[in-house]
Structure 1
Amino acid sequence: MNPAEDGPKRVVRGSLVKVLVHRRTDRGMRVEEHEARCVRRGEVHELVTTDQWDPGPGATIDRVGFLGFTELLCGGVIDRGDLVRIGDTTVGTVLGFDACHLPNHYNILIHAARPVSGTDLGLRPETAVTFIQGRAGDQGTDPAPPGA
């Protein structure tokens, strides 16, 4: 995203509807060429962590941790570099999108220090999920322990 074209935006809010508990090292997800996706209220998308940082179109993402599915409570725009928080935990930043399950849902790829699952973070259904405007090129941080 060209920073000169990137104005302020609303926080996209969601609620965790299903917690996922596994990790893989051979997933083969592909980063879409799009740096941003418009999302609608009521859509459900999957949240996936990775320690791989390659936002290039077509990049293969193999090392992943599955956090869960979130239902979006408002429409908005999710951009590469947005900060992702679940409850009080900063999970990382949006790396990009994998569309292998469309039209059902996107896999929202989140860069973190290590691939973590919903179990690793002690996630529970109904926990708040937020996508907060960041800067393209930001890299994820080590997830804080639950409640931190």
Structure 2
Amino acid sequence: MNPQEDGDKLTVTGRLVKILIHRREDRGMSVDEWASRCVRSGEVHELVTTDQHDTTTGARVDRVGFLGFVEISEAGVVDRGDPVVIDGKRVGSVLGFDSCHFPNHYNILIAVDATVTGRELGLTPDMKVSIGPQP
């Protein structure tokens, strides 16, 4: 995100539609070159935590915890650094994107201190998700 180019924006909102409960130490995702991605209402994207914080294009991301899939209800722009809040609790911030499954969905990589799964956070379907500016 470049503060000289970016202005105010709306928060992207959605709801969890599937909870994931696994983690990997050898996932082999890679950070896309883009610092932002547009998401549309009705799209479904995967939320993935990682304690690897390298945002260099192509950086390998092996240590991950899978949170689940979010259905986007309010379209918008997701930027690197945006806070990710689920059910009113901050989970982490957007590290970047892995598009190995695109156009089916993006993996939205979330920077955290220690990887965590949806089960470990007690997530359930229909919990509210917001990505971006928080009130």
Is this a same-fold pair by TM over 0.5?
A: yes
Is 1:51 paired with 2:51? yes
What is aligned with 1:39? 39
The C-alpha deviation readout for 1:28-62, integer Å capped at 9, x for no partner, is: 00000000001100000000000111011000000
What is aligned with 2:82? 82
Q: Detail structure 1 runs of 4+ shifted over 3 Å in the superposition.
A: none
What is aligned with 1:13? 13
Return the offset for 1:133. 3.4
What is aligned with 1:138? none
Q: Which letter does structure 2 place at the counterpart of 1:28?
A: G
Q: Which letter does structure 2 place at the counterpart of 1:95?
A: L
Return the offset for 1:6. 1.1
Give RMSD over aligned pairs.
1.0
Is 1:114 paired with 2:114? yes
Aligned residues: 134
Identity, % of aligned pairs?
60
The C-alpha deviation readout for 1:52-90, integer Å capped at 9, x for no partner, is: 110110000000000000000011000000000010221
Q: Which letter does structure 1 place at the counterpart of 2:101?
A: H
Q: Which structure has greater strand proportion?
A: 2
Q: Which letter does structure 2 place at the counterpart of 1:31?
A: V
For structure 2, list consecutive stretches of 5 or more residues without a partner in the other structure: none
TM-score by length of 1: 0.89
Q: Secondary structure at the match of 1:115?
A: coil
